[in-house]
Structure 1
Amino acid sequence: MLTPAAVHYGEADKILEKREYTLATAAERHPSRFKGKLPALDKLPIAVWINPPVLPDKMEKIAES
């Protein structure tokens, strides 16, 4: 999980790289805790919305209602 501030100020990639390194190091030192594979890290999404913008075709349907 990344904070909004980390994403906004461009720190997300650095945080994800450090997280990946930390997990790899932990797996190397304690392989029994990871059952043979590392957890998958999520990629940084292109965009996130609280209220996504309404697309033009949906605006027409809303206007017709």
Structure 2
Amino acid sequence: MDRRDWTRIGIAAAVVLVPGGFVLGAVLAARRVQQARAAADLTERSEHPTGTSARASGE
């Protein structure tokens, strides 16, 4: 195969694989944010003496 064929293969691979990488990255980032929020909510509840969140009690 000559260089032109490899260039076309590379472009085709980039067009097919890069969007999938963006989607995978977005899914992983969203899961991490969701887990961080859940952990923060649990921490907030455990720090409040009544066992409810500070937001729910009006503090």
Taking structure 2 as the reference length, what is the TM-score of the superposition?
Answer: 0.38
Structure showing the higher helix proportion among its residues = 2
Say which one has the larger Rg: 2
Quick one: higher RCO (CA 8 Å, sep 6+), 1 or 2?
1
Taking structure 1 as the reference length, what is the TM-score of the superposition?
Answer: 0.35
